[in-house]
Amino acid sequence: MQIQTLDGGFATPPVDAAHAFRAIMTAMAQPGTIVTLAGAVPPAPVSVAAGVALLTLCDPETPLFLGAAQDNPGFRDWITFHCGAPFVTAGLAHFAYGTWDALPLDGFALGSSEYPDRSATLIVELPELTNSGAVLRGPGIKDQAHLSLPDVAMFQRNAALFPRGLDFIFTCGDRLAALPRSTRVG
């Protein structure tokens, strides 16, 4: 095991994970809100926000899928050492991490009407994350919010599946925003 695998995790895991979890839940509860995360330094090219989210949300019982560009031995070792998440194919993943083009969106579990919680959450690394672009409406949004999304039509199709569908977390640098399946996108 290389020294880079051991570095970059939370300095004080219970405290750092609690702060990160609170920020991620704020982003989920208020779609379009961009939060800042800190506390971990994952191997390049993984962003700080994505690394913190993965360390906070994944554990040995949360199967993880990695997109092709992110699936490398160094990052796998880092995830294994710091949170122990098992790596799986897209259809078995509870969480997935990658760039928009590297994630097979058709391959993830969407849940069912009886068990909508059995869907995947995708952590998508974006080159830019701003409060501009697509209009968001729905639970947790007073009137409307804006978020730079990679494909508005795809998110409209996803919202139409509610209560089934995918949930999304977007990361860029130390910034994170979320788009739950209940959010209407225009």
Question: What's the domain count of the chain?
Answer: 1
Question: Please, which pLDDT band fits residue 36 given cuts at 50, 70 and 90?
Answer: very high
In the predicted structure, residue 1 carries a pLDDT above the cut 50: no
What is the predicted pLDDT for the residue at 2?
52
**Lookup result for tokens 């993880």:** 64
CB atoms closer than 10 angstroms to residue 111: 19
User: Helices marked H in the chain — which ranges?
Assistant: 3-6, 13-29, 48-57, 73-82, 152-160
Give the tens place of pLDDT for each residue, 122-174. 999 999 999 999 999 999 999 999 999 999 999 999 999 999 999 999 999 99
> Rounded to an integer, what distance in angstroms lies between the CA atom of residue 147 and that of residue 163?
22
In the predicted structure, residue 184 carries a pLDDT above the cut 70: yes
Amino acid at 33: T
HEC sequence for 91-123: HHCCEEEEEHHHCCHHHCCECCCCCHHHECEEE
Could you give the C-alpha distances from 111 to 10, 34, 105, 161, 169, in angstroms and in order? 32, 26, 14, 10, 17
- The parent domain of residue 88 ranges over 3-185
| CATH number, position 155 | 3.40.50.11310
Give the tens place of pLDDT for each residue, 81-138. 999 999 999 999 999 999 999 999 999 999 999 999 999 999 999 999 999 999 999 9
In the predicted structure, residue 8 carries a pLDDT above the cut 90: no
> Rounded to an integer, what distance in angstroms lies between the CA atom of residue 18 and that of residue 37?
11
